[in-house]
Amino acid sequence: MAMKRRASAHWSGNLKDGKGQISTETGVLRDAPYGFRSRFEDGPGTNPEELIAAAHAGCYTMALAAALGQAGFTAERIETNAVVTLDKDGEGFAITAVTLTCRAKVPVIDTAAFDGIAQDTKRNCPVSKVLRADISLDAALEG
């Protein structure tokens, strides 16, 4: 059974002066502001790259806990930070890198086993996979 999670974004105005809000179906984000300044400068609000970083850090951390468990280990603590890099790309922009930094306390495991599980998790956590996924779009102009 496929799980579906939903989020929405609303935007009014042009790129530089416009304003937007992002919401999630759980209500964790409800009309959270975002705009040009929060994305490309140091303005208040969130931005898509910050949300991708949060999603990737959370996903990787949970997936690592699961992979360690499958290998017979239980983590006392896993902390992951994600940095998403947005670079100029021709006339536009592109996410060019995601850097995950993970620190874990896992009793009994040796470094080689941990490194193997950590690298495999990096390749296979759902958010890592979605960053390589085909994306479909249904766009329509309303009157």
Taking only the tens place, the pLDDT of each residue in 77-125 is: 999 999 999 999 999 998 989 999 999 999 999 999 999 999 999 999 9
- Distance of CA 130 to CAs 1, 22, 52, 96, 126, Å? 18, 20, 11, 15, 6
CB atoms inside a 10 Å sphere around CB 82: 22
Q: Is residue 48 within 8 Å of 9, Cβ to Cβ? A: no
The encoded tokens of residue 133 equal 């996924």
| pLDDT at position 143 over 80 | no
Dihedral of the CA atoms 47, 52, 55, 59 (nearest 10)? -170
| pLDDT at position 54 over 80 | yes
- If you average pLDDT over residues 59-82, what whole number do you get? 96
d(CA 62, CA 48): 21
Q: Which domains does the chain have, with CATH numbers?
A: 7-46 (no CATH), 47-132 (3.30.300.20)
Q: What is the dihedral sign for C-alpha 90, 45, 133, 14?
A: negative
pLDDT of residue 141: 62
φ/ψ of 98, rounded to 5, equals -130, 125
d(CA 51, CA 82): 10
CB atoms inside a 10 Å sphere around CB 16: 9
| pLDDT at position 138 over 80 | yes
The band of 76, judged by pLDDT with boundaries at 50, 70 and 90, is very high
- If you average pLDDT over residues 117-141, what whole number do you get? 87
**pLDDT, averaged across the chain:** 93
| pLDDT at position 63 over 80 | yes
